[in-house]
C-alpha cells in the first residue's frame, strides 16, 4: 500500500516548464506519460509555478497540479519545497534536473541531462556556481534510487567524473514531437517567416548566446562561406540573443554581415516546425550537448543538419548529418558551402535525417520512464518486506 492510499503517489518537478531544453523535456514527457495506459496505476502530483501552468499539456484526472513557487537553484527548493514533498506523502519524487531536495522518507528518480556546468566551469557566472553544481549533482547521484540521463555520452560523463557505477543509471533518449514532420505546409512556413521578418532562402541557427552554443564561430564561418561562394541565403540566429548589443553585434558589424543576418529572438513552440521546415539547413555546431533536441527536430522536418563531431551530438547524429569540429571555423564554412551548393548532398542528408528521427519517440521515452518508476518503487517494497514478514521468536508460520 502506498503512503497516500491504494495508488502509489508520484511527484514530478515541473518548475522549469518554460526553460528551453529542460522545459521541452518536461512538457513532452508529461504528455506522453499521461497517454500511456499503465500510468493509470499511479496518482501524479505535478509541481509547477502559477505563471507557467498555461504551458502544461492537457492531463487526465489521475494527474493533479500543485502550485509551487520555490525558484530553481535556491535555498527554498532545499527547505520549503522539500517540506512540501514530505507533507504530500509521496511514494516517489522525480527531479527533472539535477537539484534533488532532501527526501529522507521518499524514493527518488533524478534526470541529469548533462554536466556542462562541470566540464566548462568558465561558462558559469562565478566560482560559487561551479561549486554548487558539483555538490548538487554529486548529492543527487548518491541519494537517488534511479538516475535517468538522455544519452550514453552523458552517462559516460557521469561515470568518468563521479565514478558512479552504471547499474543505477538508465539512458532514455528524448523524443521528437509529431509536430515536426517533413510535410509542414508551405503556407505555415511562409506565415512563420513573415511573422518573424525572415526572407527565404535562409540558414538556421537555433540556440542562444551562451558560450557553449558557439554562435560566434557560426557567424565567422558564415562570413567565410560567403567569401568562398556567392550564397543567396541569409543567416537566422534564433533564440535569446541580444541583436543590438554586446560582442555578437560587434562581430556581425566587423564582418559586414548586418544586412545578411536576422535575429528574431525567442521562437514560440508553435512556430518551430515552420521555422525548421523553411530552412535550407540547420547549423548547430555547439561545443557540448547532453542530447541536442534541435538536431532531431530539424531532421524530422527533412532539413539537412550540420552539427558537431563532439559530445552527444556525434552519438545522435553521426552518419545522419554533416559533422564538423566546432572549433574549426574553416571546417564549418566548408560544410555550409557543401550543404548550400550540392543538391545531392542536401538530398542525402535530408533522407538520412528523416530516417534517424524515427528512432526518437516520446512515447518510448514515457514507457521507459514508467519502467524506471516501477523499479524504484519495487526497491522500496523490497526494503519493507523483511520487516513485515519477520516472525516472532519461537513461533511457527
Residue 386 lies in a domain: no
Given phi > 0 = left and psi -120 to 50 = alpha, else beta, which region is 80? alpha
CA angle (220 as vertex; 222, 328 as ends), nearest 5: 100
- The span from the CA of 314 to the CA of 318, in Å, is 5
| Pair (82, 132) in one structural domain | yes
Q: In the prediction, which pLDDT does 393 show?
A: 40
- The span from the CA of 370 to the CA of 159, in Å, is 24
Instruction: Give the relative orientation of helices 152-162 and 127-143 as an angle to the nearest 10 degrees.
Output: 100
Identify whether the C-beta of residue 218 lies closer than 8 Å to the C-beta of residue 285: yes
Number of separate domains in the chain: 2
Per-residue DSSP letter, 268: P
CA angle (70 as vertex; 68, 74 as ends), nearest 5: 160
Please report, for the domain that includes residue 329, its CATH number.
3.40.50.2000
DSSP 3-state helix, strand, coil percentages of the chain (rounded to 5)? Answer: 50, 15, 35
| Pair (202, 340) in one structural domain | yes
Identify whether the C-beta of residue 2 lies closer than 8 Å to the C-beta of residue 380: no
- The span from the CA of 19 to the CA of 208, in Å, is 13
| Pair (342, 224) in one structural domain | yes
| Pair (41, 82) in one structural domain | yes
Residue 1 lies in a domain: no
Residue 387 lies in a domain: no
Higher-confidence residue of 388 and 353: namely 353
Residue 388 lies in a domain: no
| Pair (101, 201) in one structural domain | no
**pTM for this one?**
0.91
- The span from the CA of 191 to the CA of 273, in Å, is 11
| Pair (330, 216) in one structural domain | yes
- Within 8 A by CB and 6+ apart from 68, the residues are 15, 47, 48, 49, 81, 84
| Pair (206, 126) in one structural domain | no
| Pair (192, 143) in one structural domain | no
Q: In the prediction, which pLDDT does 391 show?
A: 44
Identify whether the C-beta of residue 296 lies closer than 8 Å to the C-beta of residue 313: no
> Dihedrals φ, ψ of 169, to 5°?
-105, 125
Q: State pLDDT tens for residues 219-243.
A: 999 999 999 999 999 999 999 876 4
- Please choose, from the candidates 59, 154, 52, 48, the residue with its C-alpha nearest in 3D space to the C-alpha of residue 98: 154
Q: State pLDDT tens for residues 289-307.
A: 999 999 999 999 999 999 9
State the number of CA atoms in the 13 A half-sphere of 46 facing the CB: 26
| Pair (190, 286) in one structural domain | yes
**Torsion (CA) 97, 102, 103, 108 in degrees, nearest 10:** 20
What are the Cα distances from residue 197, in Å, to 29, 188, 238?
32, 14, 12
| Pair (193, 128) in one structural domain | no
| Pair (114, 235) in one structural domain | no
Confidence at 124, pLDDT banded by 50, 70, 90: confident
| Pair (295, 315) in one structural domain | yes
Residue 393 lies in a domain: no
Confidence at 195, pLDDT banded by 50, 70, 90: very high
Average pLDDT of the chain, as a whole number: 92
Residue-range definition of the domain harbouring residue 131? 9-175+361-381
Residue 74 lies in a domain: yes
Amino acid at each position: 500500500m502506498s503512503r497516500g492510499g491504494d495508488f502509489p503517489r508520484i511527484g514530478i518537478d515541473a518548475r522549469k516548464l518554460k526553460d528551453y531544453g529542460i522545459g521541452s523535456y518536461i512538457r513532452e514527457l508529461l504528455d506522453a506519460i499521461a497517454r500511456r495506459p499503465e500510468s493509470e496505476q499511479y496518482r501524479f502530483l505535478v509541481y509547477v509555478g502559477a505563471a507557467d501552468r498555461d504551458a502544461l499539456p492537457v492531463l487526465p484526472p489521475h494527474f493533479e497540479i500543485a502550485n509551487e513557487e520555490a525558484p530553481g537553484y535556491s535555498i527554498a527548493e532545499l527547505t520549503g519545497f522539500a517540506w512540501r514533498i514530505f507533507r504530500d506523502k509521496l511514494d516517489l519524487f522525480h527531479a527533472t534536473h539535477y537539484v534533488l531536495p532532501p527526501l529522507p522518507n521518499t524514493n527518488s528518480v533524478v534526470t541529469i541531462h548533462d554536466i556542462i556546468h562541470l566540464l566548462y566551469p568558465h561558462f558559469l557566472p562565478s566560482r560559487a556556481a561551479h561549486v554548487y553544481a558539483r555538490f548538487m549533482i554529486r548529492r543527487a547521484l548518491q541519494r537517488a534510487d534511479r538516475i535517468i540521463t538522455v544519452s550514453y555520452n552523458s552517462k559516460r560523463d557521469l561515470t568518468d567524473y563521479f565514478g558512479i557505477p552504471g547499474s543505477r543509471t538508465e539512458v532514455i533518449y528524448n523524443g521528437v514531437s509529431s509536430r515536426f514532420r517533413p510535410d509542414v505546409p508551405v503556407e505555415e512556413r511562409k506565415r512563420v517567416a513573415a511573422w518573424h521578418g525572415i526572407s527565404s532562402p535562409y540558414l538556421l541557427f537555433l540556440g542562444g548566446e551562451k558560450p557553449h552554443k558557439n554562435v560566434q564561430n557560426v557567424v565567422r564561418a558564415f562570413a567565410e562561406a560567403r567569401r568562398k561562394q556567392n550564397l543567396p541565403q541569409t543567416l537566422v540566429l534564433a533564440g535569446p540573443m541580444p541583436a543590438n548589443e554586446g560582442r555578437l553585434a560587434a562581430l556581425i558589424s566587423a564582418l559586414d554581415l548586418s544586412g545578411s543576418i536576422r535575429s528574431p529572438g525567442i521562437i514560440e513552440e508553435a512556430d518551430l516546425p515552420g521555422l525548421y521546415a523553411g530552412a535550407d539547413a540547420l547549423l548547430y555546431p555547439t561545443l557540448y550537448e547532453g542530447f541536442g533536441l534541435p538536431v532531431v527536430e530539424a531532421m524530422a522536418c527533412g532539413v539537412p543538419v550540420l552539427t558537431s563531431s563532439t559530445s552527444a551530438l556525434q552519438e545522435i547524429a553521426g552518419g545522419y548529418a554533416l559533422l564538423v569540429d566546432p572549433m574549426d571555423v574553416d571546417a564549418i564554412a566548408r560544410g555550409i558551402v557543401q550543404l548550400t551548393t550540392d543538391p545531392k548532398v542536401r538530398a542525402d542528408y535530408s533522407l538520412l535525417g528523416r530516417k534517424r528521427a524515427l528512432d526518437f519517440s516520446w512515447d518510448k521515452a514515457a514507457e521507459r520512464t514508467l519502467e524506471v518508476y516501477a523499479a524504484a518503487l519495487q526497491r522500496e517494497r523490497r526494503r519493507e518486506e523483511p520487516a513485515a514478514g519477520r516472525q516472532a521468536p519461537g513461533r511457527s508460520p
